[in-house]
Amino acid sequence: MGAYLEYYSSMFILFPAIIFAMYAQAKVKSTFYKYLRVRNNRDITGAQAARRILEQNDLYDVPIERARGALSDHYDPRKRVLRLSDEVYNGTSIASVSVAAHEVGHALQHAHSYGPLKIRNAIAPTVGFASQAAMPLVILGLFLGSGGSLLMDIGIYLYSFAVFFQVITLPVEFNASSRAIVQLEANGLINNEEKPRAKKVLNAAAMTYVAAMAVAIFNLLRLIMLRDRD
C-alpha cells in the first residue's frame, strides 16, 4: 500500500504540465473553430489547396482522402496518403487551408527525406510498446522495493525512448508549419492579411506538441525521483 500511495502521490509533479496541456488543447480548438468561420480569399477548400501544393511540388502520386472525426488530419508516410477531416477537406476557411497545407508539409518532408521525420518514422513502431511496457515495470519495481530497482531502470529506459519520440516530434511539426506558410504564400492561397491568421492556427496546433513533450519530460523526472528515493 505504501508503494501504491507513493506512486500516485508523486503525480503532483505533473500538475503544471497537465494544466499546460489542457490549456493547449483548449487553445487549438478555440483558434481552429474561430478561423473555421473565416473564409479564405480564394474561396477554395482545404482539399483543393492541398492538391495544388502537392502538384506544384511534383507530388502527383499522393492521394487525398477523407479522415473520420474532427481535427483528425494527418499524413500517412507508410501509404503516402494525405487524410483530411471533413471540416478541412470541404471547408473554405483560413483554418481549412492552413491545416491542409500543414499536412502537405509532412508529405514534402517525406519526399525530401527530412532527417527528424525519418528518425520519428523509424522509431514510431516501437514507441507504443515502450510507453505501454514502461509503467507496469516501474510500478512492479516500486512494489518490490530494493529488489525491484532493475525493473524500474528498465521501465525508465523504455519511457525515455517515448520521451525522445516527443522531443523529435517538435522540429517535425514546426518545420511542417513553416513549409505550409511558404507554400500557401508561394501559390497565392493566402494574402498578406490572411497570413497572420494562418500562423495563429498553426501556432496553436504546435503548442499541443510542446505540451505533450512537457508532460512526458515531467513524468520522466517523476519516475527518476521515485527510482532515487531514499
Name the residue ranges covered by the structural domains of the chain: 2-227
Q: Indicate which residue of 55, 87, 103, 185 is catalytic.
A: 103
On the question of pLDDT at 151 being above 50, the answer is yes
Using the CB atoms, write b or e for 25-62: b if 16+ within 10 Å: bebbeebbebbbeeebebebbbbbbbbbbbeebebeeb
Cα angle for residues 63, 69, 71 (degrees, 5° grid): 80
**pLDDT category of residue 70 using cuts at 50, 70 and 90:** confident
Segment 168-177, tens digit of pLDDT: 999 999 999 9
Provide mean pLDDT across the span 2-19. Answer: 73
Q: Give how far Cα 166 sits from Cα of 27, 38, 160, 169, 173, Å.
A: 20, 32, 10, 5, 11
**C-alpha cell recorded at residue 153:** 531502470
Matching residue, cell 473554405: 92
- Residue 103 falls in the annotated catalytic set: yes
Lowest mean pLDDT among 64-73, 109-118, 170-179, 219-228: 219-228
| Per-residue pLDDT, 200 | 97
Given a contact cutoff of 8 angstroms between Cβ atoms, the answer to whether 71 and 29 are in contact is yes
Provide mean pLDDT across the span 164-188. Answer: 97
Given a contact cutoff of 8 angstroms between Cβ atoms, the answer to whether 63 and 3 are in contact is no
| Per-residue pLDDT, 1 | 47
Calculate the CA 227 to chain-centre distance.
29
| Per-residue pLDDT, 230 | 45
On the question of pLDDT at 139 being above 90, the answer is no
Segment 80-102, tens digit of pLDDT: 999 999 999 999 999 999 999 99
On the question of pLDDT at 148 being above 90, the answer is no
Given a contact cutoff of 8 angstroms between Cβ atoms, the answer to whether 48 and 102 are in contact is no
Provide mean pLDDT across the span 163-191. Answer: 97
Q: How many residues does the chain have?
A: 230
On the question of pLDDT at 66 being above 70, the answer is yes
Q: What is the mean pLDDT of the chain?
A: 92
Q: Does 203 or 1 have the greater pLDDT score?
A: 203
Q: Which residues contact 225 (CB under 8 A, 6 or more apart)?
A: 10, 13
Cα–Cα distance measured from residue 219 to residue 10, given in angstroms and rounded to the nearest whole number: 9
